[in-house]
Structure 1
Amino acid sequence: MKKYIVLIGIITMSFFSCSEESLSLDSPNDVTVEGLLTTTTGFKQLLTGAYDAYQKIPTNEYLLTEVRSDNATVGAQFGSLATYDNFNIVVNDVEVFNYWSNNYKVVYQTNLVLDNQDTFLALSGADETVLGEAYFLRALAHFNLVRVFRDIPYIDQVITVDNFEEFPQLDEAETYQKINADFESAISFLEGAEISNTRANEGTATIFLAKSILSQPSPDYVRAQSLLLPLIEDTNEFGFTLTQNFDDIFARGDDGDENNEEIILKVAYTQSSGNPVTSDSETEDQVQSEAERWSFDMTENGQSNGANLATADLETLMTSALEPVRFPTTIIEDTFFDDRTFNNKWVPDNGEGSGNDWVVLRYADVLLLYCEAVIGDTQSTDSENAIVAYNKVRARAGLDTLDPTTESLSRDALLAERRMEFVFENQRFYDLIRFGVAINVLQAHSDEVGLFFSPSDIYIDIPQREVDNSDGFYN
């Protein structure tokens, strides 16, 4: 008989987000999935469980993205952190498995809602935005997975040990079709939803649909342009805009505000007395704080153990002379590792190790994604709209802008701008793939500093535990 596979094991590990009114502390087993599926409040609690599950995603994402790029390195080329930097990830790597399983926990929670959407819509007071948010989170979790592992199973219903073989690994193109369909459903159900940077709304879903389209094997650049064009206008209906001060995005200074106007979607965390971060949601007692340590590892802990240093190549580009505005926000210099420089974007001003919110999407990405869609598979563009959008990001960075009447925006310049704008935000690795230069850039980086990159390292193998527990069905 087949063993329970990891994806099914996630079902038993998933937690449900319940208010004090619906959860008896004396009899916690009184709350069941079946019970939650009988009221609109119960459905909303299941959705909140999906958001809470997503709080674990940033935990190890930077190891699988930024540390594997030419932006970040580690202090010593040995030990567990070095395996990501060196492209020597083993098949039973715990961080790879955690990233896989954490995303599928989000998927499971959303499927509890979406499998029962007819029941939900029949309830008095049902709000369709609940379904829109569930579609969005399901698409986003699969979007994370396909960009790391490529050929994955798309799980669009609650699975059991008896039906998991109905969900084989799909090729990349088919997975993106399903992701896009879920984002489209999200847009439909989220029309008119309240604008919040901690929950999905119509604008957020539209942007991620465009980003997914740009990431798929054969991008539809025209469609991505049409989705993003209304959002690059200063008067876009969602109020998305740039902050005037780059530093303010990351809540720096005494007046820092993690709800600033640039942040479109974030994962919210709080900090308590220097302890590891806990959830900022109504279910913070149910969230494992050790699974939300990203801020600590990426910042202050990184300065003591050598995690997430800037590469030598990045240090030549991200300097106070070349990047007068972005440099002090992005880079912190430390004497512990031979005057090396470290990620500074997420260091809390109170000097403690964690607690900053994780920014999933901000408006500068919208502007530069639009430029990418306009350039498409050519080498440059004379589009005034694209150049104006590009110039907004450049101007805030205190850098020279292009004259839209006489100059063009090149593909290379756009990629370089994205690198400087989003350093240490887990964007670089995916940017290299979308721009079609990942193998060349990473091979050159590997050769220069003595790493072990090969083209097969672009995507990570599915966790061995998944392969074993599925008797090789997933591989």
Structure 2
Amino acid sequence: MKKYIIPIIACGLIITATSCKKFLDLKPLDSYSENTFYVDEKGLQGGLVSCYAALQTDSLYGNNLLTLGEIRGDNVADNDPGSGAGVRNSIEVFSETSANNIISGAWQGHYKAIYRSNLILDRAPAINMTDATKNQVIGQAKFIRALCYFNLTRLWGNVPLVLTVQTTGEARENSRATSAQVYQQIISDLTDAITKLPTTWADAQRGKATSYAASALLAKVYLYQKQYNLVVSTLQPLATAIYAGTVLAVVPQTTTFPSNLKTSRDIIFAVQYLNGGVGESVNQDNRYRNNNNTNSITLPQAIFEAGDNRRALLAPTGTGSRPGKFNSPVSNSTEVSGDFPVLRCADALLMYAEALNEVAYGNAEAFRALNAVRVNAGISPKTTADLTSQASFRTALYLERRLELALEADRWFDIVRTGQMATVFPGIPTFRAIYPVPQAEIDNINNKSGWQNTGY
């Protein structure tokens, strides 16, 4: 891989206004190196903030993942082959190449976050702090690393599995691990994170990964592997907590988006943004802003049932507008502070319903989970008289995921994992279910054999 594997880390990056207060007493960053910064708890906590900051960037949840996970699908279209040399449009129309800079940016962004997480995990054992604090730091780093590897293997299939801090020479000798090996590591990281993380944080620390977040992500990993019994057992305690409605709960999207996303009980984990000229906001154009009919919403309004309160939030927008789902206040004409939801209670309940149905049709808990999301959206619950078979429940569940999670970078991955690619995109070759490995990465590897995905 490239030299970004060992970057100079901007440890002063913040994810919330409260985070800033904790690090104001740091010396200038250029007076530190990796060997002098990660020597105490304060340095380790500062490095952990940089792990979260890596998720914010345009390479990941700030922009590129929205293109790779949503514009690639059938909810949003990019209709401008001339904009940015057509790199986004080529992803829309399945003509992208290994030189596409959105693809290469996402690859590099994920490995930057992984590098930072590895650095935390490498240094934490030797640093003097309480066991509880050390566990929380390790748990968060493992959650972020697992999230990045989950995205990487969904995007590219086999990818390098880097679990230590590498020199440039070592990175050039990397090979691609199989998806099975990557998933095994993700499961290991999340299983450990669940035991080390709290279920909640104090309000001043909202945004940090929790054990609930690690459980929800682990369940999604099992779902992608079709290990439905494990999905059920992993999500059962989380579903109980959601139904209780104290810490977590499904919340109508008319209040979740855009008004209260930062504090909503529906959010299990989100990448946070902040206005105020501190480099923590995101460009409004990166939230599906409709510019001259580019990045337009193509989600058919006809597929919404009457009374569905999600319809207005996902309606096609006029030139210069953003969909209601991400219509947060704009600062300096271009910047928004809207968080990006990665894991929500509604998603967890839909995963729970899907897995229960796959284990056995007719389970009352499957209908309960599905209907919790439907009633929350303002539409009537389904019964066995409506969904009379496992197949009909499955079809209804897939539609519910499309409507509930639209614009949240899940649609393309759902299309692929559920075997709908040939139906939704007839004629598109199956090799495009994953993306080409960036050629710039292959160029930096000593042994290039087997590095490019078939078809590219």
TM-score class normalised by the smaller sequence? 0.7 to 0.9
Cα shift at 1:35: 1.9
1:208 to 217, 242, 252: 217
User: Secondary structure at the residue paired with 2:264?
Assistant: coil
Q: 1:431 aligns with which of 404, 409, 414?
A: 414
Give the one of 175, 186, 192 matched to 2:193: 186
Report the equivalent of 1:306.
293
Aligned residue type for 1:392:
A
Question: Is the 1:197–1:266 contact (alpha carbons within 8 Å) kept by the matching residues of 2?
Answer: no
Partner of 2:326: 346
Residue of structure 1 in register with 2:12 after alignment? 17
Once the two structures are aligned, what percentage of the paired residues are identical? 25
Q: Please state whether the residue corresponding to 1:345 is helix, strand or coil.
A: helix
Q: Distance in 2 between matches of 1:381 and 1:365?
A: 20
* 1:262 paired to 2:269: no
Contact 1:213-1:220 at 8 Å conserved across structures: yes
Residue 113 (str. 1) matches residue 120 (str. 2): yes
The amino acid of 2:376's aligned partner reads R
For the residue of structure 2 that corresponds to 1:207, the secondary structure is helix
Q: Is the contact between residue 69 and residue 428 of structure 1 (CA under 8 Å) also seen in structure 2? A: yes
The normalised TM-score by structure 1 is 0.82
The corresponding residue for 1:462 is 437
2:344 to 349, 359, 362: 362
Structure 2 vs 1, CA of residues 192 and 441 (structure 1 numbering), >3 Å: closer, same or farther?
closer
2:216·2:343 contact (CA, 8 Å) conserved in 1? no
* Contact 1:65/1:429 (<8 A) preserved: yes
Gaps of 5+ in 1: 280-288, 448-452
User: Are 2:247 and 1:239 equivalent residues in the alignment?
Assistant: yes
- TM-score when normalising by structure 2: 0.86
| 3-state SS of 2:270 partner | strand
Correspondences of 1:415-430 after superposition (within 5 Å): 415-430=398-413
Deviation of 1:355 (Å)? 2.3
After superposition, the C-alpha distances for 1:368-425 in whole angstroms (9 at most, x for unaligned) are 010121123x7x7211111011001111222221236885561111001111111111
Counterparts of 1:17 and 1:75, CA distance in 2: 38
Separation in 1, partners of 2:381, 2:338: 32
1:388 aligned residue: 368
Counterpart-to-counterpart distance in 1, 2:175 and 2:273: 35
Whether contact under 8 Å (2:250, 2:345) holds in the other structure is yes
CA distance in 1, matches of 2:314, 2:122: 43
1:296 aligns with 2:285: yes
What corresponds to 1:286 in structure 2? none
Distance 1:372 1:49 in 2: 35
Deviations 1:191-226 (A, max 9, x none): 56636651111111011011011113xx21111100
| Equivalent AA in structure 2 for residue 298 of structure 1 | R
Aligned length: 427
CA–CA separation in structure 2 for the residues paired with 1:13 and 1:358: 26
**Contact in 1 for aligned 2:113/2:144 (Cα 8 Å):** yes
Moved more, 51-60 or 117-126: 117-126
- Structure 1 stretch displaced more, 207-216 or 15-24: 15-24
1:296 partner amino acid? D
Report if the CA contact (8 A) 1:364-1:393 is conserved: yes
1:71 maps to which residue?
75
Q: Which runs of 5+ in 2 are unaligned?
A: 14-22
Distance 1:42 1:237, change over 3 A: farther
Which position in structure 2 is the counterpart of 1:327?
Answer: 311
CA distance in 1, matches of 2:434, 2:90: 14
SS state at 1:83 partner: helix
The alpha carbon displacement at 1:9 in A equals 2.5
Given that 1:384 and 1:404 are in contact with CA atoms closer than 8 Å, whether structure 2 keeps it comes out as no
Measure the CA separation in 2 of the matches of 1:386 and 1:52. Answer: 37
Q: 1:382 touches 1:407 (CA, 8 Å); kept in 2?
A: no
- 2:48 is matched with 47
Could you tell me how far apart the structure 1 residues matched to 2:123 and 2:287 are?
39
Give the whole-Å Cα distance in 2 for the aligned partners of 1:325 and 1:92.
41
Aligned equivalents of 1:204 and 1:170: distance in 2?
Answer: 26
| RMSD (Å) for aligned C-alpha atoms | 2.7
- In structure 2, the partner of 1:221 is 228
Is the Cα–Cα contact under 8 Å of residues 65 and 409 in structure 2 kept in the other structure? yes
Say which SS state the counterpart of residue 360 (structure 1) adopts. Answer: strand
